[in-house]
Amino acid sequence: QVQLVESGGGLVPPGGSLRLSCKASGLTFNTYHIGWFRQSPGNEREFIAGIRGSSGGYSKHYADSVKGRFTVSRDNAEKTAYLQMNGLKAEDTAVYYCAADRQLILSSLRTPSQWDHWGQGTQVTVSS
């Protein structure tokens, strides 16, 4: 079965950086779209970034709130996706999740309910 395992979260001061990893197993990784989402207490899960699979030309997509600060990438040989986060702010504090789906269409990329597979999440806390 498909499994996704996030890592790399932690406590970082404002302005700092973190790189999250999403290690996948049980799937033909290069054919899957990968999304990054986050959820903070009392808020809905929100789309942060996505990188499409081979059918989508590995195109990258970002939420306006993180554009220019976060970078999504993937290493198909390692079956791992990454989220490089720079210039972190207090409002970036949340649990971060990666998701995978093979047949998601572009217009559904930002909708959590459209993704089939999820990791367990990793906590990111931005605080001095």
Q: Average per-residue pLDDT in the chain? A: 97
Mean per-residue pLDDT, 110-121: 97
Q: Report the SS3 class of residue 70.
A: strand
Contacts of 2 (CB under 8 A, 6+ apart): 24, 25, 26, 27, 100, 116, 117
Q: Looking at residue 9, what is its pLDDT? A: 97
What average pLDDT score do residues 69-85 get? 98
Q: Listing from the earlier edge strand, what are the strands of the sheet with 70-75?
A: 3-7, 18-25, 80-85, 70-75
Predicted pLDDT at 110: 95
Q: What residue spans of the chain are helical by DSSP H?
A: none
First CA to last CA across the chain, in angstroms?
Answer: 40
Mean pLDDT, rounded, for 25-34? 97
Candidate from 13-17, 103-107, 111-115 with smallest mean pLDDT:
103-107
> What is the structure's pLDDT at 114?
95
Rounded distance, CA 27 to CA 98, Å?
Answer: 15
